[in-house]
Amino acid sequence: MTRSSKVLSTLVENKPGTLFRVIHLVRLMRLNIEGLTLGVTNGGADCRMTMTLSGDDAAVEHVARQLMKVIDILEAHTYGPEEVTARELALVKINTDKISVAEIQRNTGCRIVDSSKHSVVAEIVGSAKEIDEFVQRLGESNVLDIARTGVAALPKETTSR
């Protein structure tokens, strides 16, 4: 059994209940969802769901294949991390008592999207790894809270399906 993180990308009809149908199979195969992004596309007709799943690789493949049985699903593919362009957005609330806004920006190149008396909210977009590194550079003790979107991903052109 090989275990790793894989990206499961599905295109589904934009209807209530479709995420529920997808999640059922993910749960059945005992996979953990580490990231989930979801957004309407194709003029509102469809919805793309991108899940980062950890667990048995064969189980992820099984889910992708069996998902095609679900009536509302148009496409389901799995990708290894190297096969996709992946981006995640994070909002990070930073305590500015010990670190100045200027320092933050110099160190990280992030965008400040909100500022209050003792804290700012920084926005950073990048790979999951880049976001981890950003938090590390700030120093964990300066970080008050983080909201991450989970990965959105599209296959690279070289990936043939």
Partner 1 sequence: MTEKMSGARATVEALEREKVDYIFGMPGGANLPLYDALWDSKIKHILVRHEQLAAHMADAYGRVSRKAGVCSATSGPGATNLITGIATAYADSSPMVAITGQVAKAMTGRNAFQETDVIGIATPVTKYTLQPLSAAEVPFAVKEAFYLATTGRPGPVLLDLPKDVQQEEAEMTFPESVTVRAYRPNVPVDPQDIERAAAMIVKAERPILWGGGGVRIADAAQPFGALAELLMAPVITTLQGKGDFPENHPLSLGPIGMHGRAEANKLVSECDLLVAVGVRFSDRSTGNFGEFAPGAKIIHIDADPTEFNKNKAVDLSILGDANVVMGMLFDAVAKRITKSKDLNNNPWLKRVNDVREELKGIPAYKDSYADLSGPRIVKRLRDVLPPEAILTTGVGRHQMWCEIHYQVLRPRTWITSTGLGTMGFGLPAAVGAKFAAPDVPVVDFDGDGSFVMTEQALATAVEEKLPIISVILNDRSLGMVEQWQRLMYNRHYIGIKFPNTPDFVKLAEAYGAHAKTVGSLDEFAKAMREGLRMDGPTVIEVPVSPLDDVFPFLPPGKGIKDTVYGSSKEMAIF
Site residues, partner 1 (CB under 8 A)? 12-13, 17, 20-21, 24, 28, 45, 62, 65-66, 68-69, 71-74
Contact 11, 74 (CB under 8 A): yes
* Cβ nearer to partner 1, comparing 29 with 112: 29
* Cβ nearer to partner 1, comparing 2 with 141: 2
The rounded distance, in Å, linking the Cα atoms of 141 and 35 is: 24
* Cβ nearer to partner 1, comparing 42 with 85: 42
**In angstroms, what is the minimal distance from the CB of 58 to partner 1?**
11
Residues 6+ away with beta carbon under 8 Å from 60: 6, 8, 29, 31, 53, 78
**In angstroms, what is the minimal distance from the CB of 131 to partner 1?**
33
**In angstroms, what is the minimal distance from the CB of 67 to partner 1?**
8
For 97, the 3-state DSSP assignment is coil
Q: Which amino acid is at 10?
A: T
Contact 29, 59 (CB under 8 A): yes
* Cβ nearer to partner 1, comparing 30 with 117: 30
**In angstroms, what is the minimal distance from the CB of 46 to partner 1?**
9
